[in-house]
Amino acid sequence: MPTIKRRDFIKGTAASAAASVLPWTMTGNVLGANDTLGAATVGFRSRGHSHIRLVNNKNGCKLVALCDADKGVVGSGIKKYGESVKGYTDIRKMLEQKDIDIVTTATPNHWHALVTIWSIQAGKDVYVEKPVCHNVWEGRQMVEWARKEGKIVQTGTQSRSSRSSIGKAVKFVQDGNLGKIQYAVGTCFKPRKSIGKLSQPMQIPENVDYDLWCGPAAKVDLYRPRLHYDWHWDYNTGNGDMGNQGIHQMDIARWFLGEPRLSPRVLSVGGRLGYDDGGDTANTQTVYHDYEKAPLIFETRGLPNRDLNWGTGMPRWRGSGVGVIVQCEGGHVLVPNYYSAVAYDKSGKEVKKWRGTDPMTPHVQNFLSAVRSRKHSDLNADIEEGFVSSALCITGNISHKLGKPASPSSIQSALKSDKLFAESAERLAQHLEANKIDLNKTKVTFGAVLEMDPKTERFTNNDAANKLLSRAYRKDFAVPAANGKKVASG
């Protein structure tokens, strides 16, 4: 392996501001075009393995470290990838290892911002899974830290590397081939069964350092049977399915709309319906982002077609299951997966088709070539793109969290001036009725109507909503502000 030259990374004010929050020495690597990049993966029980596959003696990288808050995961990783890879449970210790150039991370969502920012502060470039952040404020800090320290941060929204399929469809629409865009609808119709419910707090698996696992999130008793993965369905650690699967489709929809910022108005209708379990995130939801040019509507369905019977399959809307529909004056485009798109004219006749292949490999390669060029503009899914799309999921959930139970008739009357949203809410009601959920007894939540100034990323009409833009971080796990100001911790 060629020698990697190193130098002190940061001088001056940035260094002194950051040094106050960092226990380790900051280093940065100056890389030649052919130097091998030392890679570390943080959080690799499941998704992290798809990162490791691409950086373990591949694509000009060598896996040198693995980190997971679950000792069992670390042990099996070392067994699988070899003793030359160093294993850690605490990322702060891992970041002291000098031969790491890039960090890839697939921890639960509540850790994404801290892993990214600590890695940036330690001089590394980062590949971070979607959603990039758990709250809006910390996502913006990730962008600012990356810019301030000149680091390359790619978001794990791999569809953005489907340049020759979805990318071409975006251009086709934005060039006006189907006329003006009227709206985009993202659909995340994926089966999400009950995660179960415990009457006593969960016994945390003994291999897991629960304090580290919680990190910035509240350290609370859990009443679900499984610690791993099911954190998605707890707002303390996850963002529901809109912020899990749905972030991919939210991002594709926003890509077509060409909107670079958060929406000026957001409203959610939905709830966690059909079962009572240890989760609290909505499993059935419609979120309306009221962009001025054309709205972005996002529909999540976790329940089956009918009768709460999984054998009846999942619903689809206009051919979209987990996908995106972009409606224009002269036809529409359907994006049914991560690498293809089909355009139809007004009569429903197919007029153009784009098809690629799974974009994960080119997406990681795109990250690595930007690491070498040092230009974040070379990235297909720069952290700022990932942040804005992640934040659209999060503001939708903030509207939901501040909502009130409502009957179908009161929802329809509140939405009567908004035809598209009223239709989407009606589809949601019909879907729940098909599952025999009596909406006059089990009420859905009509969210708070939230107005936002997309420049300041603050709500202008609701103080409670502004409080939910960030969180009270636990001591030792506070996300540092890029401007060096002190942040509230719980």
Ligand X SMILES: NC(=O)c1ccc[n+]([C@@H]2O[C@H](COP(=O)([O-])OP(=O)(O)OC[C@H]3O[C@@H](n4cnc5c(N)ncnc54)[C@H](O)[C@@H]3O)[C@@H](O)[C@H]2O)c1
Three-state DSSP state, 367: helix
**Pairwise CA distance, residues 390 & 388, whole Å:** 6
Number of residues in contact with ligand X under rule CB under 6 A: 26
Residue 106 binds ligand X (CB under 6 A): yes
Residue 130 binds ligand X (CB under 6 A): yes
Q: 131: Cβ–Cβ under 8 A, 6 or more apart, which residues?
A: 109, 112, 239, 243, 244, 247, 386, 389, 390, 393, 394
Buried b (16+ CB within 10 A) or exposed e, 434-446: bbebebeeebbbb
| Torsional sign, CA 80, 85, 90, 91 | negative
Rank residues 223 and 229 by Cβ distance to ligand X and give the closer one.
229
Rank residues 111 and 421 by Cβ distance to ligand X and give the closer one.
111
Rank residues 70 and 259 by Cβ distance to ligand X and give the closer one.
70
Three-state DSSP state, 357: coil
- Answer for which of 213, 255, 367, 421 binds ligand X (CB under 6 A) is 213
- Answer for which of 28, 38, 43, 87 binds ligand X (CB under 6 A) is 43
How far does CA 8 lie from the centroid of its chain?
Answer: 33
Residue 195 binds ligand X (CB under 6 A): no
Residue 402 binds ligand X (CB under 6 A): no
Rank residues 285 and 424 by Cβ distance to ligand X and give the closer one.
285
- Answer for which of 60, 77, 123, 215 binds ligand X (CB under 6 A) is 215
Residue 228 binds ligand X (CB under 6 A): yes
Residue 107 binds ligand X (CB under 6 A): yes
Among the listed residues 479, 475, 21, the one whose alpha carbon sits nearest the alpha carbon of residue 211: 475
Could you tell me the smallest distance in angstroms from the CB atom of residue 131 to ligand X?
Answer: 7
Among the listed residues 253, 268, 273, 297, the one whose alpha carbon sits nearest the alpha carbon of residue 388: 253
Could you tell me the smallest distance in angstroms from the CB atom of residue 106 to ligand X?
Answer: 4
**Pairwise CA distance, residues 98 & 127, whole Å:** 18
Degrees (nearest 5) of the Cα angle 444, 450, 451? 160
Q: 481: Cβ–Cβ under 8 A, 6 or more apart, which residues?
A: 141, 487
Rank residues 91 and 439 by Cβ distance to ligand X and give the closer one.
91
**Pairwise CA distance, residues 174 & 168, whole Å:** 10
Query: Considering only 44-52, 306-314, 411-419, 440-448, which stretch makes contact with ligand X by CB under 6 A?
Result: 44-52
Query: Considering only 45-53, 259-267, 350-358, 417-425, which stretch makes contact with ligand X by CB under 6 A?
Result: 45-53
Query: Considering only 40-48, 275-283, 434-442, 456-464, which stretch makes contact with ligand X by CB under 6 A?
Result: 40-48
Residue 45 binds ligand X (CB under 6 A): yes
- Answer for which of 212, 269, 297, 303 binds ligand X (CB under 6 A) is 212
Contacting positions for ligand X (CB under 6 A): 42-43, 45-47, 67-70, 73, 91, 106-109, 111, 129-130, 156, 158, 212-213, 215, 228-229, 244
